[in-house]
């Protein structure tokens, strides 16, 4: 029987790349995100290419009841999740703390921390019942180091870093693996979302150096997930070769 991976934020970037890679590796997939049209298109594509079974579950991770009901409504066979990839996340704005936008702060905190927690509670309960599972949490270099104007986004990713460690401790008696993956700059829709659709500003983030691409992170996640049963990768920080730390990038 094929293993199952549940990927949050599968409509774009790292989540979408994980969907491709895990489908190629014969996993059945639960794909989540808000943009249902994208999820359905991706599901059709992967099913045709890899003959993988796919469940689409469309919800906003910020809406607690929506998260719980959408996940709990999945048929029982889909609750045998082997791998949860907690990837849905975003940044909004890049301003000094005194100029920060309250709504942007709420969005980041609600998505990156609370959303991740809502999904994790439901799925980790399934994993405890099943007596197996592996949770991969997408942190960021921003959770390891604070950079100018990154304030609240950095704080949400530091929270993910802490939760990654906390989950590993709490789920240890149940044999569930927990891995944190912390990327540096990855060229996805991330910066376009951060700058609210300003494509020119977003493009500048990746100017003059070679950033990571989503597939680099999907491969890193696959490396962690495909280790033998007795090996857990606690965490990995993955950077572009041209990026030494959150704010230091060698641009040509």
Q: Supply 223's token pair.
A: 């490396």
- The reply to whether 50 belongs to the active site is no
Q: Which stretch binds ligand NDP (CB under 6 A): 30-38, 92-100, 219-227, 241-249?
A: 30-38
Closer to ligand 8X3 by CB, 52 or 87: give it. 87
Residues 243, 247: Cα–Cα separation, whole Å: 8
Residues 133, 110: Cα–Cα separation, whole Å: 25
Closer to ligand 8X3 by CB, 82 or 164: give it. 164
Answer for which of 31, 141, 178, 181 binds ligand 8X3 (CB under 6 A) is 141
The footprint of ligand 8X3 on residues 56-85 (CB under 6 A) is none
Closer to ligand 8X3 by CB, 22 or 153: give it. 153
Q: Is residue 32 close enough to count as binding ligand 8X3 by CB under 6 A?
A: no
Q: Is residue 140 close enough to count as binding ligand 8X3 by CB under 6 A?
A: yes
Residues 116, 124: Cα–Cα separation, whole Å: 12
Q: Mask 100-129, x = binds ligand NDP (CB under 6 A)?
A: -----------x---x--------------
Q: What is the largest CA-CA distance in the chain?
A: 54
Answer for which of 178, 218, 246, 249 binds ligand 8X3 (CB under 6 A) is 246
Residues 160, 236: Cα–Cα separation, whole Å: 13
Residue with tokens 């990768």: 233
Closer to ligand 8X3 by CB, 142 or 158: give it. 142
Answer for which of 190, 202, 239, 249 binds ligand NDP (CB under 6 A) is 190
Q: Supply 117's token pair.
A: 């927690």
User: Can you say whether the dihedral through the CA atoms of 242, 212, 182, 25 is positive or negative?
Assistant: negative
Contact 187, 212 (CB under 8 A): yes
User: Phi and psi (nearest 5°) for 94?
Assistant: -155, 80
Active site residues per annotation:
153
């Amino acid at each position: 029987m094929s293993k199952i991976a549940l990927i949050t934020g599968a409509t774009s970037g790292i989540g979408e790349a994980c969907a491709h890679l895990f489908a190629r590796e014969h996993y059945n997939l639960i794909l989540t995100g808000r943009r249902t049209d994208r999820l359905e298109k991706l599901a059709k594509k992967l099913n045709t290419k890899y003959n993988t079974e796919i469940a689409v579950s469309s919800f906003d991770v910020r809406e607690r009841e929506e998260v719980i009901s959408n996940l709990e409504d999945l048929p029982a066979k889909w609750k045998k999740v082997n791998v949860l990839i907690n990837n849905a996340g975003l940044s909004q704005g890049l301003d000094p703390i005194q100029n920060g936008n309250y709504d942007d702060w709420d969005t980041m905190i609600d998505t990156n921390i609370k959303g991740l927690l809502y999904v994790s509670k439901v799925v980790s309960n399934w994993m405890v019942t099943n007596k197996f599972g592996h949770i991969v949490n997408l942190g960021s270099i921003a959770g390891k180091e604070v950079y100018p104007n990154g304030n609240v986004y950095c704080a949400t990713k530091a929270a993910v870093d802490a939760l990654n460690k906390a989950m590993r401790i709490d789920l240890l008696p149940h044999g569930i693996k927990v891995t944190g993956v912390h990327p540096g700059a990855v060229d996805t829709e991330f910066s376009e979302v951060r700058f609210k659709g300003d494509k020119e500003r977003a493009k500048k983030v990746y100017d003059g150096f070679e950033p990571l691409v989503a597939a680099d992170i999907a491969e890193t996640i696959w490396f962690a997930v495909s280790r033998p049963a007795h090996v857990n990768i606690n965490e990995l920080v993955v950077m572009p070769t041209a990026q030494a730390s959150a704010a230091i990038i060698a641009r040509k």
